[in-house]
Amino acid sequence: MVQHDPLSGREVIFEFVSLGDSVRVAAVDVATGEEVVITGPKSTPQRDLERIAGRKLARKLGLIDPKPDTKTPRRGGRGVIV
């Protein structure tokens, strides 16, 4: 399955900072200055971390529709069934 890259045509800067056994990844959209940050295990391939941070940035920029609410509401209107 081939997925469309929602950030194609946009310039994105990725910053990687090691924090012990973890790595902090910041993704910044150059045009808007919007930034998102994720943290993952140091053993995760760099490409996977970039993909996750890029998807989070695309979601923040509104380039990806959020998932529809698929949770079932409880009776009485309080909370949801997960």
Instruction: Yes or no: say if 35 and 26 are a contact pair by the CB < 8 Å rule.
Output: yes
DSSP 12: E
- pLDDT per residue over 34-68, tens digit each? 999 999 999 999 999 999 999 999 999 988 876 66
CA dihedral over 51, 54, 59, 63, signed as positive or negative: negative
pLDDT > 60? residue 5: yes
List the chain domain ranges: 12-65
- What's the pLDDT at 9? 87
pTM for this one? 0.75
Instruction: Yes or no: say if 56 and 62 are a contact pair by the CB < 8 Å rule.
Output: no
